[in-house]
Amino acid sequence: MGDFSDLLVYKKSFELAMDIFEISKTFPKDETYSLTDQIRRSSRSTNICLVEAYRKRRYKAHFISKLSDSDMENSETKGWLKFAFECKYILKDKYEKLALQSDEVGKLLNHMINFPEKYGVV
């Protein structure tokens, strides 16, 4: 089993977090401590909880718990994306692209939750 950075879900969640970071630079300044901060935190936490889960894969319950945290953060990110779209901070095509990325991350995380043995959990 390689390093966590070899995981497709790691790469996809990192890419999503970076895409959100870039797009959120265009959000209004009055959103700095609310929407901008929240969406950056949740998208980054999706990735970081995954990293933590991978390090805890010796313990199935811990592994699944941290992956569940990652999935929760990913869902939060998608919620914040909807707010960004409805507030007209991002265009529909960008929203749909980012939401699709979030959905893909969610599917990959759920695969890990449902099949932990495929990720080195004994």
Residue 37 lies in a domain: yes
pLDDT 10s digits, 42-89: 999 999 999 999 999 999 999 999 999 999 999 999 999 999 999 999
Question: What pLDDT, on a 0 to 100 scale, did the predictor assign at position 21?
Answer: 98
pLDDT tens, residue by residue, 104-118: 999 999 999 999 999
In a domain, 93, yes or no: yes
pLDDT range class, residue 1, cuts 50, 70, 90: low
In a domain, 24, yes or no: yes
Query: What domain range includes position 66?
Result: 4-116
Question: Does 20 map to a domain?
Answer: yes
**pLDDT(90) > 80:** yes
Residue 121 forms part of a structural domain = no
DSSP string, 43-74: HHHHHHHHHHHHHTTTSHHHHHHHHHHHHHHH
In this structure, is residue 69 part of a structural domain? yes
- pTM for the structure as a whole: 0.95
- The count of domains in the chain is 1
Q: Is residue 80 exposed (0-12), middle (13-18) or buried (19+ Cβ within 10 Å)?
A: buried
Q: How far apart are CA 38 and CA 72, in angstroms?
A: 14
For residues 10 and 4, is the Cβ–Cβ distance under 8 A?
yes
pLDDT value of position 122: 80
The verdict on residue 122 lying in a domain is: no
- Indicate which CATH number applies to the domain containing 14: 1.20.1440.60
In a domain, 21, yes or no: yes
